[in-house]
Structures are given as C-alpha cells and as structure tokens.
A and B are shown apart, each in its own frame.
Chain A
Amino acid sequence: MGDLGKGYKLVFLGDQGVGKTSIITCFMYGKFDTSYQATIGIDFLSKTTRYEDRTFRLQLWDTAGQERFKSLVPSYIRDSSVAVIVYDVASKQSFINTSKWIEEVRAERGSYVIIVLVGNKTDLVNKRQVSIEEGENKAREFGALFMETSAKAGFNIKPLFCKITSALQGNEAVSWTKQEDLVDVNLKPLMFSSQANHQQESNCSC
C-alpha cells in the first residue's frame, strides 16, 4: 500500500433499505443523497482516513440487502477485516435479521473479524421500534461493537468510522460500548460538498 497506509476491507451488510449506502455516502462525501438508486450486486468505494497519526486505507464494500442476494456475499466477507451490520431503528424486523447476518459473518470468518452493529435512522424519532438498550444487548451477546447513527442528519457517522479504525489499530477491545459514551461531531445537517472526490482524505477528529 506504500504511503497510503495499511488497507482494510470493510463489508456492509444488512436488510434492504436500512441505510448501508447512505452511511457510506455520508462518510465519503459528507452528504445525504435523497435520490440514489438501490444497490444491485456489490459496490465498492475507498477512502484514506487518519487516526492518531496513522493513515488507514479503508475499502468499503456495499452489498445489496435483499435475502436473494446473499449468494453473492460470502466471498466478500471471507477476507474482510470488519463487518458493519446495519439495521433500521424504525424496523424491528431488520433488527431481528441482524442475527442472521452476524451468524453468516461468523461462519465465514470466525473470530478473525471485527463486527460492528449499527442502528441507523435515529432521526425517525417517532417511528423507533428498537431501543438503544436492545441494540447494546445484542452487540454484547455477539461480541460486537455498537453505535447508533443517522446518515440523514449526519449523526455519529464520523465517530462510527473512528471507532472502526480504533478497533483496527487494537486500541479498542472488540466489545460493546454504551451509546452515551459516544460523541456526535455534527448535529447540524451536513454540508453538501460537490467537490468530494471518491478518494478524498478525512481527519477523524474524535
């Protein structure tokens, strides 16, 4: 990887429409896109990020969430460093289904993978069906990291990736973390940057 730093493969899993692509778009380009197409098959993006004076090259693999596409996924899980399993806090079913996704990851990678359970769409306050506690408990049960986010509001997106890079560096035990321990670095709506490059750099200021 040269001076680009060590490369890590992150695979994003979870049901259809939970916000996998939106989380990635928000992290990559600092914007929430209201008119994006459903992911078909597999998409790939990469980004260099800095954490504690170290440079990390993150390869982000975005997958189609529908059950039928699961046959395309195993080969992507196989050599991934991190599995980010996303559910929608306003959809109980998507939360229940995370167990299947986690089992799939464990079957392919055993314990050689960092699993991050992410509850997205926290902006849907009145539609919430999954509490923070439920999310934390499931993460603890499966030995995963946990965080809630809102790609739409730009909430906890940077901290999520800081948490991941921290875990990759070995600074953070791969265990659950309470939501109140997390800091939101951007509660305001995100700026829509049109100059964002698909290989831009970002500084995680956690």
Chain B
Amino acid sequence: MSRKRTENGSESGPATSHVPVDRFGFLKQEHANSPERFSKSKTTSSTDHDREERKVRKWRKMIGVGGSDWKHYVRRKPNVVRRRIRKGIPDCLRGLVWQLISGSRDLLLMNPGVYEQLVIYETSASELDIIRDISRTFPSHVFFQKRHGPGQRSLYNVLKAYSVYDRDVGYVQGMGFIAGLLLLYMSEEDAFWLLVALLKGAVHAPMEGLYHAGLPLVQQYLFQLESLVKELIPKLGEHFTQEMINPSMYASQWFITVFSYSFPFPLALRIWDVFLSEGVKIVFKVGLALLKYCQDELVKLPFEKLIHALKTFPEDAMNPDTLLPLAYSIKVSKRLEELTLEYQKTNAKPVQP
C-alpha cells in the first residue's frame, strides 16, 4: 500500500490490490463512488488523452517547479487561474495545487516539526472516538480498508494531531471524511496543515464553527440554504414546506463533510478544487444546482420518497460536466452576506457579564 511522491510533491494514489478498483481506488461494486459511470466509453480515446496531457503541461507551467511560480501567476492572471480551477485540476497535480490554493504549504513551512510533536508526544481526549470511526471512514476505498493498515494509521494520526492542536474543537465525526480525502492526495503532514488551513481560515472564512459545540456554523448554513431554496427555487421551497422537509434532513452532510461523505468521488474532487479556491459558497451553489436540476421530479414526491430522493440523486444530476456549470451560474455571494447578518441578528446570544 505504499504511495510514491510525484515530482511535484503530491502523492500518487494508493497502490491497487487484487480487488477490482476504479481509478481512484474505490471498490468497483461500490459504484456510487465510481467515476467510470460518467465516462461514455470505458476506454479513454487518444484525443482525450492528448487533451489531458496539454492540460497538465499548462498547469505545470503555471505552478512552476514545486509551486515556485504559483503566487506570481495568481497575481498576474487571477481570472485564468479561476477558470482553470473550475475546469478541474489535473489529478496528478491535485495534491500540490490544493496545498498552494489553501495556504497550507505556507503553514507547513512556518511550523517545522510541529506535526511530529503533536502525533508522537501529545495525548488526546478524543483518541477512543477517533479509533471508533477509523474503519467507518471511506470503508470502500482500498487505502482505508485494511485494519491498522497505513491508511487507517495515517487517518488516525492526522485526526489525533488536530484534536490536540485545537482542543476546543477536538475530534468531530465528519472530519474523518475531509482528512481521508486529503490523505489520498498528500502526505500526513501536508493533510494535517491543510485541515488547519481550512478550519482556522488561512485563506477563506474559518470552518471550525462547523464543529464547535452546538454546530453553530452548520445551523447558520442550513438557515441560509433554506432561505435560498425559497427564493431561487420557490416551487420546490413551497413543496418542502408542505411536506415539512427542512435542510437538516438532507444537507447537514453537505456542509459538515463538503460533499465528501456520499457524493460520487469525481464530483467531490471537482467541488473541492473550487471549494479550496473560492470558499464555502460553492457548497451552496452545488446544493442549489442539484435541487434546481431535479426540481421537476422532486415537487411530485411525497415526504418519504422525497427524503429518499434527496439522499440519492440520479446519475445524470451527479455528472460534474452537467452540474458544475449550472452551479457556477447561480449567484449567491451578496445574498449569503445578507442572510449571515440576518441569522446573527436573530440568533445573537447575550454577552456574558
């Protein structure tokens, strides 16, 4: 199960065992996460291959050796970078680019030896909770399947280190799916610092509120999503109200794991490309795009079938090339800011004297 570093500092995926797996390392029968369901033919044509090669060359030129040209390029051509990220980062460069766009590479360089200290010398109150969840995180991925194998060990180390690094947050179920996703593209230490960058807000708004006691940020996001559904997809919003469906019934996972929990892996990766570069608004956009795309079917369904449908979207809706352009076309930034203020006003806690 050894994983080799690529020349760009990211890691290639886990070595495949005798079990039939897709190109991302998920067991084939678990087709819910299989990328193959989206390709028109099982074999990649030479045209596709050439296109991918050209894309990789462009990206290599853009980031430079080990990311040396990245900041310079982003300053000079931010729109080009944004457009390319939205089209999808080449898989072989994904780990490195994620570290560059999240600011985690800088955190790593500024904190030498810290990760090792946290893993080896500190103890965490969350250790038992983490152990309990390790085998229940991406159980259909070869890297995480082997009990006490390298994948499970790395996942444990990253989660334990974070629970010590930020004892207020500790370990919360859901973090494992984020850490697990990162570990498929980078080393333990890199994954840890990317987790820190996300939760502490190195580039975008801090995510740690998703995991604080009471899940305050989850509650806020669910409020915002409900308002946006009513405003942007009124027919569906009305149907949800009639059927007494609220966003916590289907969308908590979206926010807590940034779609890494149950979404097809190729789609989750494309969302993560944009999430790391543009922030949490992509989660709203993708959620709204999904609901919009499926609304004609959803409005016909009664409560039970509706909840089931909101957990198992059809294949065509989950195709990144269909869904993401629709998501990008939905404008939410300004309204999200207004709804944040509205939520905070409504839920303002009196300051303790």
Q: Which residues of A contact B (CB under 8 A)?
A: 16-17, 35-44, 46, 59, 64, 66, 68-69, 71-72, 75, 198-199
Contact = CB atoms under 8 A, between A and B. Distances in A.
Contacts, number: 72
Contact of A38 (B137, B140, B219, B249): B137
Interface in B245-259: 246, 248-249, 252-253, 256-257
Interface of B: 129, 132-133, 136-140, 145, 172-174, 176-177, 211, 213-215, 218-219, 246, 248-249, 252-253, 256-257, 261-262, 304, 307-308, 311
Contacts of B133: 16-17, 38
Most central of A17, A37, A39 by chain B CB within 10 Å? A37
B55 to A, nearest CB: 32
A91 to B, nearest CB: 10
B214 A71 contact: yes
Contacts of B129: 16, 66
A39 B173 CA distance: 8
Nearest to B176: A38
A46 B306 CA distance: 12
A59 B304 contact: yes
B252 A71 contact: no
By secondary structure, the B interface counts as helix
A62 to B, nearest CB: 11
Given A36-B139, A38-B136, A44 B249 contact: yes
Nearest to A72: B248
A40 B257 contact: yes
Given A38-B133, A41-B253, A44-B311, 20 more contacts: A16-B129, A16-B133, A16-B173, A17-B133, A37-B136, A37-B262, A38-B137, A38-B173, A40-B261, A41-B256, A42-B249, A42-B252, A43-B311, A44-B249, A44-B304, A64-B173, A68-B215, A69-B215, A75-B246, A199-B304
Contacts of B173: 16, 38-40, 64, 66, 68-69
